[in-house]
């Protein structure tokens, strides 16, 4: 390290560069080295092995005393006393005891991983193990479902009856901007708890978008470019993981549907009718989709749909493309409650560009 810059640095690249860029470290290289090693050695993660007596060759946990023993490479045993878990203590105890009693560990053993983080005045100890999926999961849609639309700054949800009717809707807001990965995870987990509690109280499964098909939402037309850039598939996967993890613990089933054109459907049909946001309207259509309902265009717009050769769900896309105007102008052009009404293509508040577009689209 004193003669050349290594091509591989096991640690943070920024920390490594601090020896050249931070004034205090440039003047005292030894202090940088101590700081660098302290940060690098701050955390240790030892993966479990299912053929180990305690599920791990380095760590051994004693459920009766709550002591965790770590055996170093030199054979020295370090003991962490009173290691208890506010959540999952019973699962840890059961897994450890079951592993000890298991006779054929290679076939039926369970690995138990351990992580230790040094925070100076205290340690954070984590136990990582496989948890069997909850057997008693409510998959029944006989009472309806809770439709969920995931967004970059909130979860929108709607309570949908078994007949597909709107009952209630709401949102759980959060901020992920300028948050670290760990902070984002904690924020999403907290909101996922609140969301799943709604499903538990109403005794209904959750219907949400299939995250593998949500990449298209990064180009969502509703919102500014900065917000849209934040809508990465990684963020949506973290949202889905938080919701599914909490739902599994609470015995709530999570059903997934293709979210294609649910925002458009909600905007055209339900946003004004129920006085809800476009994302709440999308969660309503997601819920209805989970119940097997197909959405028909409002009668006032139905004769403007080019039905061939588009499938019914893509007809919404074609209709929305024709009505490409500012959101605040959208419902000024027609009334969904007047099926025989016409679209007002000459509204005085339309911009020149919007007016030209509408006349050409509906010519």
Q: Quick check: 215 pLDDT over 60?
A: no
pLDDT of residue 19: 85
Confidence of residue 342 (pLDDT cuts 50, 70, 90): confident
HSE-up (13 A, CA, CB side) for residue 148? 30
Residue 309 zone, left/alpha/beta (φ > 0; ψ -120 to 50; rest): alpha
CA-CA distances (angstroms) from residue 361 to 92, 263, 318, 326, 343? 63, 21, 10, 16, 12
Give the C-alpha separation, 293 to 287, whole Å.
9
Question: Within 13 Å and on the Cβ side, how many CA atoms surround 140?
Answer: 7
User: Cβ distance 202 to 170 under 8 Å?
Assistant: no
Q: Is the dihedral of CA 255, 257, 262, 266 positive or negative?
A: negative
192: left (phi over 0), alpha (psi -120 to 50) or beta: alpha
Residues 6+ apart with CB under 8 A from 269: 281, 285, 295, 297, 298, 336
In 3D space, the residue among 112, 130, 118, 117 whose CA is nearest the CA of residue 59 turns out to be 112
pLDDT at 218 over 50: no
Separation of alpha carbons 100 and 54, rounded Å: 6
pLDDT level of residue 347 (50, 70, 90 thresholds): confident
Q: What is the pLDDT of residues 295-331, one digit of tens each?
A: 877 777 766 666 556 666 677 777 777 777 776 676 6
Peptide bond into 309 cis (omega under 30): yes
Q: What percent of the chain has pLDDT over 70?
A: 83
pLDDT of residue 3: 66
pTM of the model: 0.62
Position 351 scores a pLDDT of: 81
Q: Please report which confidence band the pLDDT of residue 221 belongs to, taking 50, 70 and 90 as the band edges.
A: very low
Asked which of 39-43, 96-100, 127-131, 150-154 is least confident by mean pLDDT, the reply is: 39-43
- Rounded Cα distance between 159 and 286, Å, is 11
Q: At what angle do helices 278-290 and 262-269 cross, to 10 degrees?
A: 110
Share of the chain above pLDDT 90, in %: 41
Measured CA to CA, the distance from residue 173 to residue 311 in angstroms comes to 35
219 band by pLDDT with thresholds 50, 70 and 90: very low
Q: Assess whether pLDDT exceeds 70 at residue 58.
A: yes
- Higher-confidence position of 299 and 187: 187
């Amino acid at each position: 390290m004193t003669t050349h810059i290594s091509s591989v640095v096991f640690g943070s690249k920024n920390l490594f560069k601090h020896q050249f860029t931070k004034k205090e470290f440039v003047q005292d290289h030894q202090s940088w080295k101590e700081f660098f090693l302290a940060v690098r050695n701050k955390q240790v993660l030892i993966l479990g092995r299912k053929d180990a007596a305690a599920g791990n060759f380095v760590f051994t946990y004693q459920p009766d005393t709550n002591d965790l023993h770590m055996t170093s490479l030199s054979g020295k045993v370090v003991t962490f006393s009173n290691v208890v878990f506010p959540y999952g203590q019973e699962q840890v105890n059961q897994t450890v005891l079951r592993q000890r009693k298991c006779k054929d560990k290679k076939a039926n053993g369970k690995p138990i991983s351990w992580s230790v983080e040094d925070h100076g005045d205290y340690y954070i100890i984590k136990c990582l193990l496989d948890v069997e999926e909850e057997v008693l999961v409510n998959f029944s849609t006989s009472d309806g479902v809770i439709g969920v639309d995931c967004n970059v700054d909130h979860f929108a949800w709607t309570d949908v009856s078994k007949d597909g009717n709107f009952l209630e809707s709401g949102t759980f807001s959060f901020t992920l901007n300028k948050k670290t990965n760990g902070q984002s995870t904690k924020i999403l987990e907290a909101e996922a708890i609140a969301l799943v509690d709604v499903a538990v109280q109403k005794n209904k499964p959750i219907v949400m978008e299939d995250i593998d098909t949500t990449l298209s939402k990064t180009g969502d037309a509703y919102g500014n470019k900065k917000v849209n850039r934040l809508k990465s598939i990684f963020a949506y996967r973290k949202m889905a993981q938080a919701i599914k993890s909490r739902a599994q613990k609470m015995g709530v089933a999570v059903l997934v549907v293709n979210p294609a054109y649910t925002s458009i459907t909600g905007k055209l049909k339900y946003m004004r009718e129920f006085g809800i946001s476009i994302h709440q309207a999308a969660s309503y259509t997601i819920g209805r989709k989970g119940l097997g309902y197909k959405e028909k265009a409002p009668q006032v717009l139905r004769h403007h749909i080019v039905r061939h050769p588009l499938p019914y769900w893509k007809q919404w896309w074609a209709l929305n493309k024709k009505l490409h105007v500012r959101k605040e102008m959208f419902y000024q052009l027609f009334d969904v409650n007047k099926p025989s009404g016409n679209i007002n293509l000459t509204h005085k508040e339309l911009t020149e560009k919007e007016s030209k577009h509408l006349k050409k689209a509906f010519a």
